[in-house]
Amino acid sequence: MASREHFGSRAAVIMAMAGSAIGLGNIWRFPFIAGQYGGAAFILVYIFFCLLVSLPILLCESVIGRRTHKNTVGAMKELAPGSGWKFLGLLTVIAPVILLSYYSVVGGWSVEYLYKAVTLQFRPEAASEVPGMFGSFVSSSGRPVLCLFVFLAITAGIVYLGVKKGIERFSKVSMPVLFVLVLVIAVYSMTLAGSNEGVQYLVRPDFSKLTPDALAAALGQSFFSLSLGAGTMLTYSSYVSKDEDLVASGAGTAVSDLLFAVLAGFAVMPAVFASGIAPTAGPGLVFETLPFIFAKMGSAAGFMSAAASVVFFLTILVAALTSSISMMEVGVAYLVEERHVSRHRATLGIFFFSFAAGILCSLSFGPLSGVKIAGNSIFDFLDKLCSNWLLTLGALFFCLFVGWKMDKSAVRDELTNGGSRTFNARVFPVIYFLVRYIAPAAILLVFLSGVIG
């Protein structure tokens, strides 16, 4: 396909992939999970899993994508023609669209909170009302849906512009900015009175909390955080040119994601402890406590605290956008290449579908809170369906496909650029061993614990 787009450089590849990886998973999920399961001890295990299990799976998706330069379904059809593996392509087209639907609801919340921060609604004299704002906002029907619309419209706008002009350009500007923003918030957060306990919560290793559950949580978190099993990394890799080093860009992506998660931990936890509100998991915490503590500081620090709120919600919004565009691109690439729909119509189609499903998710915090699927609200059901089932299955099958079905020489060829990358050639046996044995075994562990737990 001569007209297919490519990312322009190594930096562009890493920025786009890291953009997909770094998102809500890093900012609200990682800090609480890390705290809950033993702080520094959990972080050590997390790093270990990230490098030994998740990075090899990322490389599996990269190999398939770059080998074929096709969307998830097209890639499977090319590498395993006429076989049942096509279902893996389809699974990984469906999963990111579902993911996009509920992820964008939280993305919409960040639009609202950025608006609130910019219009100085987190005032010191109203600080005590700030935590309650969240509950009344999400349970209403009009505004969260409007914010969902805005978030999805920005996502669709970037995706519509294409890989180079949209995704590459947006990621290249926003990723470095994100790192600076989160660093600013981390430093500010650690200077707040009472923040020390939050720092302790993250750095004090508590090995007694490292239960089998914690190990499964660490692996599950690292899959979600690295965007694995949803076809996003495969699709992005299909835009990577043949002379790019997949191992180097994969490692760059994993390390950036890791670094950002740890920085986000130091941005969020000290502020949570300084606010005196108990750290419980979930998106609400970030929206309730952070603006509260910034507002409380307001009388003491004035401009600084107002600016901190703006910076914080801008960080969440941009991080969520660089992830949501990667989710939308999977479906768009599929519709354009396999169904011969124009990019314009494909983008609009996915936009409307996820908006409709997103409305249901959004209303499940309010008027539709009584609707339960298997005992969960619509939002929780879709979240569990994706993180416990679809992504894990996707990751497992990508791994099995590359480790057991694909020709070993083709895998080596992709990872070493035809043998020309000598370092990669040296580490290839290790990567291949991890892909064939260690990663599938680890995924089965997570999967079983997700299903049973």
Q: How many Å is the Cα radius of gyration of the chain?
A: 21
CA atoms within 13 A on the CB side of 209: 20
Give Cβ neighbours of residue 9 (< 8 Å, ≥ 6 apart): none
Burial profile 48-84: b = 16 or more Cβ within 10 angstroms, e = fewer: ebbbebbbbbbbbbbbbbbbbbbbbbbbbbebbeeee
**Residues forming the site for ligand PHE (CB under 6 A):** 20-21, 23-26, 96, 99, 224-225, 227, 230, 232, 323, 326-327
Q: How far is the CB of 316 from ligand PHE (least distance, A)?
A: 10
The residue among 19 and 144 lying less far from ligand PHE, judged by its C-beta, is 19
The residue among 155 and 227 lying less far from ligand PHE, judged by its C-beta, is 227
The torsion angles phi and psi of 376, rounded to 5 degrees, stand at -115, 155
Q: How far is the CB of 326 from ligand PHE (least distance, A)?
A: 5
- Measured CA to CA, the distance from residue 350 to residue 167 in angstroms comes to 16
Q: How far is the CB of 440 from ligand PHE (least distance, A)?
A: 19
Burial of 119 (0-12, 13-18, 19+ CB in 10 A): exposed
The residue among 186 and 306 lying less far from ligand PHE, judged by its C-beta, is 186
Q: How far is the CB of 276 from ligand PHE (least distance, A)?
A: 28
- Residue closest to 255 by CA, chosen among 219, 225, 217: 225
Helices then strands, counting H and E runs in the chain, come out as 22, 0
The residue among 192 and 264 lying less far from ligand PHE, judged by its C-beta, is 264
- Measured CA to CA, the distance from residue 316 to residue 313 in angstroms comes to 5
First to last CA, the chain: 45
Q: Token digits for 123?
A: 């005032």
Q: How far is the CB of 319 from ligand PHE (least distance, A)?
A: 7
Amino acid letter, 362:
S
The residue among 91 and 230 lying less far from ligand PHE, judged by its C-beta, is 230
Q: Provide the strand spans (E) within 135-249.
A: none
The residue among 110 and 289 lying less far from ligand PHE, judged by its C-beta, is 110
The residue among 102 and 134 lying less far from ligand PHE, judged by its C-beta, is 102
Q: How far is the CB of 358 from ligand PHE (least distance, A)?
A: 15
Q: How far is the CB of 103 from ligand PHE (least distance, A)?
A: 7
